[in-house]
Amino acid sequence: MDLTKEQQSLLLDCMLEMGELLLDCGAEISRVEDTLNRIGKAYGANRTDVFVIPALLSITLNFPITEPVTETRRVRSNGNTDFYRLEKLNAISRRCVKEPMALDELRASLDHIAAGKKPFPTVLLGSIIGAGGFAVFFGGSLWDGLVAAVFAVGICLLQDQLGRTQLNTVAFNLLSSLLTGLGVGLVTALVPALHMDKILIGDIMLLIPGLAMTNAIRNMLVGDTISGATRLAETLVWAAALAGGTMVALAIVAAIG
């Protein structure tokens, strides 16, 4: 298939959009590069150069006869995993590799995926079950699990509200762990039968960048060293913010109690 100059730049645009969405959903770097390479090939490029790090996408397409087209995009993703969109993106890329769809159709389906976020009630329910489950998992009583579940609602609402502002992940982790620590400290001071540590661990599991950290190390082990290193540094700062907020809360609770 031969693309005109306009179609080439539209394709490039679609590929950038797709790469950004994949990164935003938590796809591994190697998967993003692999997907974009295949799509470039499927649409007739004789050479596709893709470079991806968590903060930047760069794609250059070489077509026969015409000059190469290239574009870069700055990406601001916070490492949120979203299987819902990830699966849809996978389906689209598989379809394109098999039988390239018309470019405006591709554009429309990407826009559709970009607009469709995970439903909030599902995330809320997941946070409640997740925090409650892990409070019990780490040795808490059923009551500890219930209190952790209640605070999970708070964290989830905070995430939803602050997600609409410009607040970055570091500030968010600092703030939410401080508030959660103070709240749990207060409740456990009033009801001594509860275990503050177990409840806090359950809630911290919601904020901990454990997965992002594991993914970062994985990136490095498969050869994406730059991406792995920047992600790892990022997650360490996030974890430090989490630890900082919790430590301040624990220190305040200890000073009062």
- Strand locations in the chain (E): 47-53, 56-62, 69-74
Pick the piece of the chain touching another protein (CB under 8 A) from 5-13, 59-67, 97-105, 198-206.
198-206
CA dihedral 153, 158, 161, 162 (to 10 degrees): -160
Among 85, 110, 180, 183, binds another protein (CB under 8 A): 85
Which one-letter DSSP state was computed for residue 6?
A: H
In the complex, the smallest distance separating the C-beta of residue 43 from another protein, rounded to whole angstroms, is 22
* CA distances for 185 relative to 28, 130, 182, angstroms: 38, 20, 5
Does residue number 108 form part of the binding site for another protein (CB under 8 A)? no
* CA distances for 131 relative to 78, 106, 112, 136, angstroms: 21, 39, 32, 9
Among 108, 189, 191, 217, binds another protein (CB under 8 A): 217
* CA distances for 123 relative to 131, 153, 195, angstroms: 12, 10, 26
Q: Using CA atoms, how far apart are residues 35 and 49, in angstroms rounded to an integer? A: 12
Sheet holding 47-53, edge to edge: 47-53, 56-62, 69-74
Among 75, 77, 126, 230, binds another protein (CB under 8 A): 126
In the complex, the smallest distance separating the C-beta of residue 71 from another protein, rounded to whole angstroms, is 27
Pick the piece of the chain touching another protein (CB under 8 A) from 37-45, 70-78, 106-114, 206-214.
206-214
Does residue number 27 form part of the binding site for another protein (CB under 8 A)? yes
Does residue number 241 form part of the binding site for another protein (CB under 8 A)? no
Q: Using CA atoms, how far apart are residues 182 and 178, in angstroms rounded to an integer? A: 6
In the complex, the smallest distance separating the C-beta of residue 187 from another protein, rounded to whole angstroms, is 17
Binding pattern for the stretch 128-167 against another protein, x by CB under 8 A and - elsewhere: xxxxxxx-xxx------x----------------------
Does residue number 120 form part of the binding site for another protein (CB under 8 A)? no
* CA distances for 214 relative to 19, 26, 129, 252, angstroms: 21, 12, 23, 32
Which positions touch another protein (CB under 8 A)?
A: 27-28, 31, 81-87, 90, 118, 122-123, 125-134, 136-138, 145, 197, 200-201, 204-206, 208, 210-211, 213-214, 217-218, 221-222, 239, 243, 246-247, 250-251, 254
